[in-house]
Protein backbone atom coordinates (compact mmCIF):
# COMPACT_ATOMS: atom_id res chain seq x y z
CA UNK A 1 0.00 0.00 0.00
CA UNK A 2 1.19 3.47 -0.87
CA UNK A 3 0.66 6.63 1.15
CA UNK A 4 -1.15 9.58 -0.43
CA UNK A 5 -2.10 13.10 0.48
CA UNK A 6 -5.19 14.80 -0.96
CA UNK A 7 -6.15 18.43 -0.61
CA UNK A 8 -9.55 19.49 -1.88
CA UNK A 9 -11.30 22.84 -1.98
CA UNK A 10 -15.04 23.11 -1.44
CA UNK A 11 -17.26 25.95 -2.55
CA UNK A 12 -17.62 28.76 0.06
CA UNK A 13 -21.45 28.83 -0.10
CA UNK A 14 -21.68 25.67 2.04
CA UNK A 15 -22.73 25.68 5.68
CA UNK A 16 -20.53 24.02 8.31
CA UNK A 17 -22.85 21.01 8.32
CA UNK A 18 -22.64 20.68 4.52
CA UNK A 19 -18.83 20.82 4.69
CA UNK A 20 -18.81 18.05 7.31
CA UNK A 21 -21.16 15.96 5.13
CA UNK A 22 -18.88 16.36 2.11
CA UNK A 23 -15.80 15.35 4.11
CA UNK A 24 -17.68 12.36 5.56
CA UNK A 25 -18.64 11.28 2.04
CA UNK A 26 -15.00 11.14 0.91
CA UNK A 27 -13.92 9.42 4.15
CA UNK A 28 -16.56 6.78 3.45
CA UNK A 29 -15.27 6.27 -0.11
CA UNK A 30 -11.77 5.70 1.26
CA UNK A 31 -12.79 3.36 4.08
CA UNK A 32 -15.16 1.29 1.92
CA UNK A 33 -12.31 0.63 -0.49
CA UNK A 34 -9.86 -0.50 2.19
CA UNK A 35 -7.91 2.70 2.82
CA UNK A 36 -6.47 3.64 6.17
CA UNK A 37 -6.79 7.34 7.00
CA UNK A 38 -3.54 8.44 8.63
CA UNK A 39 -4.34 12.10 9.25
CA UNK A 40 -6.77 14.76 8.20
CA UNK A 41 -7.09 18.45 8.86
CA UNK A 42 -9.60 21.13 8.03
CA UNK A 43 -7.82 24.31 7.01
CA UNK A 44 -11.05 26.32 7.02
CA UNK A 45 -12.15 29.09 4.70
CA UNK A 46 -9.21 30.59 2.80
CA UNK A 47 -8.72 33.04 -0.01
CA UNK A 48 -7.95 31.46 -3.39
CA UNK A 49 -4.95 32.54 -5.43
CA UNK A 50 -7.27 33.16 -8.39
CA UNK A 51 -11.05 32.96 -8.87
CA UNK A 52 -12.53 29.52 -9.56
CA UNK A 53 -16.10 29.45 -10.86
CA UNK A 54 -16.37 33.14 -9.89
CA UNK A 55 -15.54 32.33 -6.25
CA UNK A 56 -12.60 33.96 -4.46
CA UNK A 57 -12.62 31.79 -1.30
CA UNK A 58 -13.09 28.11 -0.48
CA UNK A 59 -13.04 25.56 2.34
CA UNK A 60 -9.77 23.60 2.29
CA UNK A 61 -9.44 20.07 3.65
CA UNK A 62 -6.41 17.74 3.79
CA UNK A 63 -6.53 13.94 3.98
CA UNK A 64 -3.51 11.68 4.29
CA UNK A 65 -4.20 7.99 3.73
CA UNK A 66 -2.70 4.60 2.88
CA UNK A 67 -4.31 2.73 -0.02
CA UNK A 68 -3.79 0.83 -3.24
CA UNK A 69 -3.13 2.96 -6.32
CA UNK A 70 -6.44 2.05 -7.96
CA UNK A 71 -8.35 3.75 -5.15
CA UNK A 72 -6.99 7.16 -6.16
CA UNK A 73 -8.89 6.91 -9.46
CA UNK A 74 -12.13 6.09 -7.63
CA UNK A 75 -11.63 8.96 -5.17
CA UNK A 76 -10.87 11.48 -7.91
CA UNK A 77 -13.92 10.33 -9.88
CA UNK A 78 -16.05 11.10 -6.82
CA UNK A 79 -14.40 14.55 -6.57
CA UNK A 80 -15.26 15.25 -10.22
CA UNK A 81 -18.88 14.16 -9.75
CA UNK A 82 -19.45 16.30 -6.66
CA UNK A 83 -20.51 19.86 -7.48
CA UNK A 84 -19.35 21.08 -4.05
CA UNK A 85 -15.69 20.48 -5.00
CA UNK A 86 -13.90 23.33 -6.79
CA UNK A 87 -10.43 21.74 -7.02
CA UNK A 88 -8.51 18.74 -5.72
CA UNK A 89 -4.99 17.40 -5.85
CA UNK A 90 -3.76 13.94 -4.84
CA UNK A 91 -0.04 13.30 -4.41
CA UNK A 92 1.79 10.04 -3.70
CA UNK A 93 4.15 10.52 -0.77
CA UNK A 94 7.69 9.16 -0.78
CA UNK A 95 9.49 8.11 2.41
CA UNK A 96 10.90 11.62 2.94
CA UNK A 97 7.49 13.27 2.69
CA UNK A 98 6.01 10.73 5.09
CA UNK A 99 8.80 11.39 7.61
CA UNK A 100 8.36 15.16 7.21
CA UNK A 101 4.58 14.96 7.75
CA UNK A 102 5.02 12.81 10.87
CA UNK A 103 7.58 15.19 12.37
CA UNK A 104 5.43 18.21 11.53
CA UNK A 105 2.43 16.62 13.29
CA UNK A 106 4.48 15.69 16.36
CA UNK A 107 5.91 19.22 16.58
CA UNK A 108 2.44 20.72 16.26
CA UNK A 109 1.17 18.53 19.11
CA UNK A 110 4.16 19.49 21.28
CA UNK A 111 3.47 23.19 20.67
CA UNK A 112 -0.19 22.74 21.63
CA UNK A 113 0.80 20.92 24.83
CA UNK A 114 3.27 23.67 25.77
CA UNK A 115 0.65 26.40 25.31
CA UNK A 116 -1.88 24.61 27.54
Q: What is the CATH number of the domain that holds 33?
A: 3.30.70.60
Q: CA 57 to CA 68: how far, in whole Å? A: 32
Domain that holds residue 44: 2-115
How many domains, the chain? 1
- CB under 8 A, 24+ apart: contacts of 17-20: 18/84, 19/59, 19/61
pLDDT-above-90 percentage for the chain? 78
What would the pLDDT profile of 33-84 be if each residue is shown by its tens digit?
999 999 999 999 999 999 999 999 999 999 999 999 899 999 999 999 999 9
Q: CA 73 to CA 33: how far, in whole Å? A: 11
What would the pLDDT profile of 4-37 be if each residue is shown by its tens digit?
999 999 999 999 999 999 999 999 999 999 999 9
Q: How far is CA 49 from CA 21, 55, 56, in A?
A: 25, 11, 8
Amino acid sequence: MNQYETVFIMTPVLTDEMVKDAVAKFEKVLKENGAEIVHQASWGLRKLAYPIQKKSTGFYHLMEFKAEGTLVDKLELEFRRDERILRFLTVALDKYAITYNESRRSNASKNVNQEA
